Amino acid sequence: MTTTTAAHPRDALFDATEVAAALPVCDHYCGVEARMRKSLALQAQLGPVFDITLDCEDGAPIGGEAAHAHMVAELAMSEANRFGRVGARVHPIDHPCFADDVATLVGRAGERLAYLMVPKPRSLGDVERACVEIDHQSRVNGLGRVLPVHVLIETHGALREVERIAAHQRVESLSFGLMDFVSAHRGAIPAAGMSVEGQFTHPLVVRAKLAIAAACHGFAKTPSHCVVTEFNDTAAIMDAATRASREFGYTRMWSIHPNQIVPIVEAFAPSAAEVEQACQIVCAAQDAQWAPISHRDTLHDRASYRYFWQVLERARRTGQPLPVEVRQRFFS
């Protein structure tokens, strides 16, 4: 591999509309202050290989929503948020605390929040209303950036309009809300549909997962896989994360317990052999000014270059070791 001044892969291989945000592969949720602080400490230790979503929806006690939102904002603005990869989940759009959540979080921590997660929209209209409120508070508070919006697909209405929601220019990522989605079927999906095995086999759940992943990839957004409630069975967590990544097309996954973070990151990381192959092909392609090449008796062109570049990006996001030359070429 030799040094070259050829165009960077992001510029040579992709249009602007084809590039999804480079989000960490794990999104860790926590709603209690003590767990939030422990999660921030773990992120400081492991690096920004996972996001932290501070939860105002399920984390706030009834009657204490305002104080909880202020605490979340303070943590997001604190030195404990070392990498700027802390987001927050607000209450649903039709909840009395939604607007107050947004006002507090945007007003007090908008400059440092990585995103706001909007749960339980029933339609594209709900997503639009949420974005209007977030953008209104951004203007009122003079926020010098566009705050990314993530959306949780967990209702029948949102699933029906998932393509239109994914197409919305303010949406960065869609997550699948397994538990509420199953509950919305009024017992037609058995409890096993929420288990680590059943969620990958029940046809209605599989249909929802695939629809969300396909919508995201169609509009260059990040699909985030749902929770696995088992947190002490590392093998089960690893298997679920591997299936989410390799079979269902997800590039990110929720964690609800610290024990789940490392298995998820490892499952979503490319193997050492995949990284080595990608390094060789992408570097050779850049040396050839992105013209077709032959690598180990196989022809490669821009279509396969895109794939192998994405392998390198995923390796970077998951903290995998990369050769010095590759880091200097593409990530310096």
91-140 pLDDT tens trace: 999 999 999 999 999 999 999 999 999 999 999 999 999 999 999 999 99
Residue 16 predicted with pLDDT over 80: no
Tell me the pLDDT tens digit for each residue of 180-232: 999 999 999 999 999 999 999 999 999 999 999 999 999 999 999 999 988 88
- What's the pTM? 0.93
State in Å, rounded, how far the first CA of the chain is from the last one.
17
CA–CA distance, 255 with 270 (Å, rounded to integer): 19
Per CATH, domain 21-268 is 3.20.20.60: yes
**Does residue 163 contact residue 142 with C-beta atoms inside 8 Å?**
no
* Maximum alpha-carbon separation in the chain: 66
Tell me the pLDDT tens digit for each residue of 19-73: 888 999 999 999 999 999 999 999 999 999 999 999 999 999 999 999 999 999 9
Which sequence spans correspond to the domains of the chain? 9-14+271-330, 21-268
Residue 4 predicted with pLDDT over 70: no
- Output the pLDDT for position 5: 66
Percent of the chain with pLDDT over 90: 94
Q: What is the mean pLDDT of residues 223-251?
A: 95
Average pLDDT, the chain: 95
Hey, how many other C-beta atoms are within 10 angstroms of the C-beta on 157? 16
In 3-state terms, what secondary structure has residue 116? strand
- Output the pLDDT for position 1: 45
Element housing 172 (H / E): strand 171-176
Element housing 210 (H / E): helix 203-218
